[in-house]
Chains A and B, each alone.
Chain A
Amino acid sequence: MLTFVIRRLLLAIPTLLLISLVIFLLVDLAPGSPMSEIPRTVPPEVRERMMQAMGANEPVVVRYLLWLRQFFLVEPAYVIDSLMGTNLAGGAQRVLSWQSRMPVFDIIAQRLPQTLTVIGSAYLVGVLIALPIGIYSAYRQYSWFDQLGTFVTMVGSSVPTFFTGVLLIIVFSVNLGWFPSIYDTTLEVTDWASFKMQIMQMALPVTMLALHNATEISRYMRSSMLENLGQDYVRTARAKGMSERVVVLKHVLRNSLIPVVTVIALGIPTIFGGAIIAEQVFKVNGLGTALIGAINASDLPTVQTLTFIFAVLIVFFNLVADILYGILDPRIRYD
């Protein structure tokens, strides 16, 4: 197991390097990149100085290596410095946003809490809804509950999240006026009233994302339960007089959760993609909004860094899913 983990970790390094190269080149070599957007009226020597100030006059290889160094060495050093009070970084150049001249990682640190509160709780709620639904509809296959559940998951996975979000706003915020439609990121939870306010403003975005996640996960849960319910050990368990509760919730559920847990782990990075849309609908000032804003302002370092962080998340959770599978399922042996 340990050798497998180490091998996978080592394999992740070239993958990440290649991904970073793809992202860097795509953004850098594109015809619409801001290097070509400097107005023609700007005199050549000023243009030269502007390029120099942005570090854009160096060859691509140099800029790529510099960016890698900043991303993998300098930025972690700054993180350690701020945590431990050391001086590892020694004032080295950080990844700066062209928009605000602020370190990109500071922007991320500002935005991450908002994204995580909304996305994290939405995913949690989604999983908590999905598991019981999946279990029950598999246990009572072809019952009206199962038929309804299958239909709802089909609809839920077909209706795009931005439409669900807009519908929720129209119904619950415009017509009924129960919840605010705009997420106020400046709200600080200090007392009961502000906590209630926070719950109110989280309700709609969380519902929207949770519904979407729940449909996918409950589908997996159901099919995994169905597969296990037909196994011989279930008959054995029933034959030796186990109560139905023990059979389903102990024997079958534990075995069916194995693939579902990995699906849940694999889904975590994709919800950040969904977050881009959710944040746009509910005006949450999180990472997704930061990305859209950076794209519209052609702020290359921010775009590159954010996209690469999303990629790191995907690679990381793929690894987590693989390892979880190995730990949970004793039949899988990687060595």
Chain B
Amino acid sequence: MTETAATLIEKPRSQWRDVWIQFRTHGGALAGMVVFLTLIAFVTVGPLVWTVDPSYVNPDAARMIMTRNKPPSLDWPLGTDQLGRDMLARMMAGGRVSIAVGLVAMSIAIVLGTTVGVLAGLFKRLDGPLMRLTDLVLALPLLPLLLVMVFLFRDALGRALGSETGTFVLIVSAIGATSWMQAARIVRGEVLALKEREFVLAARSIGTPPRRMILRHILPNVISPVMVAATLGIASAIITESALSFLGLGFPPDFPTWGRLLFEGVDYMQLYPERVLWPGLAISLTVLSVNYIGDGLRDALDPRIRGR
């Protein structure tokens, strides 16, 4: 008897399935997801298919000059740059760095922001100082400060970690350290509301220690706004990195990123406009697709909209 009843009851649907169903109905978000995954495939799988070294400069000077500034052809699908380096390979290598910067910087910002937000929301004593700190960082002029930070610490970190890793660590942590405030504010607001709910009271009354409280009860409940903030964070981190590279204060010259390629292309844009077009399009497409994904996620994760 019980068995037949059990088979009649539909299997309970998981929350993430519901989210996915809602996400699917958002056309822009779905398109954004496809574009973003394609771009990721382009920069990760691409170099396995197109195995040209992005920094290969023909050692024979005469040959190098002959292969300079080539228009797109079968040998060089996107042409070559002023040193005869293959643009397609450089776009792939550059995209890998740009997207990696976006992902890592976003993770740093989210971890920092969530920590600050949870601590400020949960512990009254920390609330005042932490929120003042957030306001203070929000009042800092971020782009000038980032420029100054990169300029001042680039050489020292480059010496310690090697110029590429050093710059990567520097840029990623600088962007992360200057973009956690939004997440902190959102999380604090959520935590303040959650704190008044019965299940938190129940957990506290059975003597849950603060650490367990945060990990088991608070964090799973703030995950949806954090996810939305994280997606949008990738977009702004990619833009910031390429802006730094564009101003000449990003990665070293022989280390391509999309921003850097754009910066190099600007000198030749009168003659070879496609050289700024490709990296610029790639940055814009990535950011646009990530923004659309964030938009769709926001709708999908909002239980008031979901299921309507």
Which A positions have Cβ atoms within 8 angstroms of B? 15, 18-19, 22-23, 26-27, 30-33, 154-155, 157-160, 162-163, 166-167, 169-170, 174-175, 269, 272-273, 276-277, 280-281, 291-292, 295-296, 298, 303, 306-307, 310-311, 313-315, 318
A292 touches B153 (CB 8 A): no
Q: Which of B143, B284, B292, B295 contacts A160 (CB 8 A)?
A: B284
B155 touches A19 (CB 8 A): no
Instruction: Determine which residue in B135, B151, B262 has the highest number of CB atoms from chain A within 10 A of its CB, and name it.
Output: B151
Q: Which of A26, A170, A292, A315 contacts B269 (CB 8 A)?
A: A170
In the assembled complex, B171 has its CB within 8 A of some CB on chain A: no
Q: Which of B18-26, B54-62, B208-216, B242-250 contacts A (4 or more CB under 8 A)?
A: B242-250
Q: Return chain A residues, CB-CB under 8 Å to B143.
A: 273, 276
In the assembled complex, B112 has its CB within 8 A of some CB on chain A: no
A202 to B238, CA, bound (A): 29
Q: CB-defined interface of B153-185 with A at 8 Å, one 1/0 digit per residue? A: 111100000000000000000000000000000
B242 touches A318 (CB 8 A): no
Q: Return chain A residues, CB-CB under 8 Å to B249.
A: 295
Residues 97 to 155 of chain B near chain A (Cβ within 8 Å): 135-136, 139-145, 147-149, 151-155
Q: Return chain B residues, CB-CB under 8 Å to A33.
A: 152
A31 touches B153 (CB 8 A): yes
A49 to B155, CA, bound (A): 26
A90 to B269, CA, bound (A): 52
A32 touches B140 (CB 8 A): no
B148 touches A163 (CB 8 A): no
A22 to B138, CA, bound (A): 13
Q: Taking chain A's interface residues, is the majority helix, strand, or loop, or is none over half, making it mixed?
A: helix
- Closest residue on chain B to residue A33 by CB atoms: B152
Q: Return chain B residues, CB-CB under 8 Å to A160.
A: 239, 242-243, 280, 283-284, 287
Distance of A108 from chain B, by nearest CB (Å): 14
In the assembled complex, B266 has its CB within 8 A of some CB on chain A: yes
B144 touches A306 (CB 8 A): yes
A27 to B146, CA, bound (A): 11
Q: Return chain A residues, CB-CB under 8 Å to B262.
A: 162-163, 166
Q: Return chain A residues, CB-CB under 8 Å to B270.
A: 174
B151 touches A296 (CB 8 A): yes
In the assembled complex, B273 has its CB within 8 A of some CB on chain A: yes
Q: Which of A19, A157, A167, A298 contacts B140 (CB 8 A)?
A: A19
Instruction: Determine which residue in A19, A154, A166 has the highest number of CB atoms from chain B within 10 A of its CB, and name it.
Output: A166
Q: Return chain B residues, CB-CB under 8 Å to A311.
A: 139-141
Distance of A269 from chain B, by nearest CB (Å): 7
Distance of B237 from chain A, by nearest CB (Å): 12
Q: Return chain A residues, CB-CB under 8 Å to B140.
A: 19, 22-23, 311, 314
A295 to B28, CA, bound (A): 41
- Closest residue on chain B to residue A303 by CB atoms: B148
Instruction: Determine which residue in B153, B156, B243, B295 has the highest number of CB atoms from chain A within 10 A of its CB, and name it.
Output: B243
- Other A-B pairs beyond A162-B243, A166-B266, A167-B277, 17, CB < 8 Å: A30-B152, A32-B151, A154-B28, A154-B292, A158-B288, A159-B280, A159-B288, A162-B242, A163-B280, A170-B269, A276-B147, A277-B247, A280-B246, A295-B148, A295-B151, A311-B141, A314-B139
